[in-house]
Amino acid sequence: MSKIFEKKGWHLLEAIDLLHKVEAIAKNAGLHVGLAGSVLHKGQSVDDLDLVVFPLQTKKEFNFRHFQEALEELGFFDWFCRTPYHPDDTKLVYSTYYNYKQRVDWFIFHVDVEDIREDHKKP
């Protein structure tokens, strides 16, 4: 059962503050994180914050599970995998909640999608 207490939107300044924290975790995992969507383009969103995740070096592997666990320590909960879109797609899309209130959509590029999908199916 979800522990989401109240839905809260996002504003650009709070998104940037959070992005600095997430980027520190991402860098240790060999990743970068960028801002996208309405918060970037309009300065706010009543629905969600869109973050794009991609490797620092495209030929270097990274462990998504370690990245996800570190994000959970930061306050991201209730992960939900929104893919697959297309068998040849090299991105995953996850939705999660930050501190049980604010939805974040993660667009994760250039990953071994099948490995993550298979890992996601395991109990």
Closest by CA to 104, choosing from 76, 84, 82, is 76
- pLDDT band with cut points at 50, 70 and 90 for residue 122: very low
Whether pTM > 0.85 for this model: the answer is no
| Structural domains present in the chain | 10-121 (3.30.460.10)
pLDDT in tens, 88-108: 667 788 899 999 899 999 998
Beta strands in the chain (DSSP E): 10-11, 31-36, 44-45, 48-55, 76-81, 91-98, 102-109
pLDDT in tens, 34-89: 999 999 999 999 999 999 998 887 666 677 778 889 999 999 998 888 766 566 66
